[in-house]
Structure 1
Amino acid sequence: MKYVIYISTSTSLFADAELEGILTISQKNNAINKLTGMLLYSEGCFVQVLEGDALAVETIYQKIKRDSRHKNIIELAQGQLTERIFPFWSMGFKAISNGELEKFEAYANPEENSLWDKDADHPALIVLKTFALSNRL
């Protein structure tokens, strides 16, 4: 199983409704492709971890890189996993605005230690935790 972690900059700031749309579509597509992961957003910056079958991860990652809603995509890490870090999240999500996004089952509060408990030394969790806490999500 493969994982990839990247960071990018949005071409404009996203409203909650736009983020909700991205999340809804991502969760549907990721479930179809048996991908799991986490997406964090704060003030125009995204960081994402995708995990799953190598071909599916690479296919979706290439699609993400062509998406005109963001730029400056920097791959931070990629590698192999023996088991998923986010096994139950077709796309976990966290944005700076709590509001309506809390209704999603995979909405995560980085202040809750349980988000970081599993395999805390893995690069995916280190990147996500650093991003979330430094942006005060």
Structure 2
Amino acid sequence: MKRLIYLSKARPSLRDDALYDMLAAARDHNRDASITGLLIHQEQLCLQVIEGDEAAVRDCYARIRRDWRHENCQVIFHDDVPGRMFTGWPLAYRAGRDLERGQVRQLADIVECATRLAAKPTDSDRWAMDVYLRALIDSFSALTVQ
């Protein structure tokens, strides 16, 4: 089981109706590919978690990188994991306005750390990124499929 987490910047032209169309199409595709995950969209920032078998995760991320609605994609985590965090969710979604205060802070910490990692990676920044990502993902552990 692979998990890939990336950050990207949504194009300014991405409106809510186009976003909701994209979510519907992504959920259909993810169901077919046995992919689960989470998309957070706050202002122009996107953070997405993609879980599934290696080929499906790789293909999904390649498709996202080609999508005109994203730019500056940066993988911040990609590794084997023992299981899914978002079982039953072909693509859970949270808009920035729906995030709790702590989640907003965690997201800001992740972005800041990703900037440092892109410029000059250090072991302490890699450790910090791991801590920030665990905290953010764990904060969504109460999500259940209804």
Asked if TM exceeds 0.5, the reply is: yes
What is the match of residue 46 of structure 2? 46
Q: Distance in 2 between matches of 1:124 and 1:78?
A: 12
In the other structure, the counterpart of 2:68 is 68
Which of structure 1's runs of 4+ aligned residues deviate more than 4 A? Answer: 121-125, 127-130
Cα displacement string for residues 47-106 of structure 1 (whole angstroms, at most 9, x for unaligned residues):
000000110000111111111111111110111111100001000001135xxxxxxxxx
Q: What secondary structure sits across from 2:14 in the alignment?
A: coil
Tell me: CA distance 1:123–1:36, structure 2 relative to 1, closer, same or farther (3 Å).
Answer: farther
Aligned equivalents of 1:84, 1:11: Cα separation in 2: 29
CA contact (8 A) 2:9 2:72 kept: yes
Alignment check: 8 A CA contact 1:38 1:92 kept: yes
Contact 1:47–1:128 (CA under 8 A) maintained in structure 2: no
After the TM superposition, which residues 1-137 of structure 1 pair with which residues of structure 2 at under 5 Å, given as runs? 1-96=1-96, 110-111=99-100, 124-128=133-137
- Which amino acid in structure 2 is aligned with residue 78 of structure 1? H
C-alpha distance 31-122 of structure 1, shift in aligned 2 (>3 A): farther
Percent of aligned positions with the same letter in both sequences?
A: 30
1:86-132 alpha-carbon deviations (Å, 9 max, x no partner):
001000001135xxxxxxxxxxx544x9xxxxxxx8765435579xx
DSSP-derived class of the 1:72 partner: strand
**Counterpart AA for 2:82:** T
Asked whether the equivalents of residues 7 and 45 of structure 2 are also in contact (C-alpha less than 8 Å), the reply is yes
Cα RMSD for the two superposed structures? 2.6
TM-score by length of 1: 0.72
Unaligned 5+ segments in structure 2 are 103-129, 140-146
**Which entry has the higher C-alpha Rg, 1 or 2?**
2
TM-score (norm 2): 0.68
Q: Tell me which protein shows more helix as a share of its residues.
A: 2
